[in-house]
Structure 1
């Protein structure tokens, strides 16, 4: 099994670039004696792209593991899952920033709610230090984790009062991790969202985020 060296995911796809290789081949055909080396574009090594974090690597850079190492990684993942289980679907406040911990597409994610943006980060580690929960996160994710339909990183205009159905702006992935009520409250400002969460007792504790 081959894994991404960045996030250790096995969700990897081969980047064929056939179109580009064909174009280069055709161009070479119009060069004197190009017919003798127009095949060169097809012998260049292919790259691989992680469908989770988007890292592009050569085949030799992928992590190759056997079934024993896979069992060890699965055990480590199980321990990590047990650590994060109490935090799933919970809300936190850190330096006036609002966060929600979710699990989707096999990844533990931290949703970050800023004044005019919501975006996911991959949780790469968790520790409890002197009673304070610390999450180590990485924002590097592919478009499969975009929360909104039309925006590159999931920017949502909270001042756009014309959006009567904010849920319609979410991508299919966004609908898995953000409820309609949460998005409606956020639409009217982060402060409104925080007050609503406090009133419902959903802000359970403070955390510390390490990028």
Structure 2
């Protein structure tokens, strides 16, 4: 290793180093599975010693958990940013759906972590994905209440609207990851959202309401 390389390594902040380890862990866990994934391989990919890795993450289970939490942090930040400057609640819902699809198009390995968490830890825990989504449930309720207040929706509850929306997003992301139809989730955004609108609005042309501010 050259002096320049050493200098660069020394001057990385703890936050940078931790992020690099978690990025490497996400990749290795997704490719090899939790049981087979080796912490040495993760350390090598992150460009750190195994001792450094264990200073940040003392166990393999902790490393896996933090890698999954970091992916969900990124997802939540993107969903939050997607609707920030949009007033129309339906347009905001579509923007959030698009951000969700783009996240899983860009980070397909996250779906592997979901599956591994369930396989390794089973019913002993609530899946981190659902646990995390519940923390922003009040934001979703407010958004869908605004839809009900402003547009001619069918006689269905907010919980039902939110559940179907979540199922469409999650299902489309998973099917895209599995390559079922050759299209990314984001490439199907218009069709999926159109389908969702026809399911909740009493109108022959529900997309007209996207133009309402």
Bucket of the pairwise TM-score, normalised by the shorter protein:
under 0.3
TM-score, with normalisation over the residues of structure 1? 0.24
The one of the two structures with greater contact order (alpha-carbon pairs below 8 A, sep at least 6) is 2
The two structures have a TM-score, normalised by structure 2, of 0.24
Structure with bigger helix share is: 2
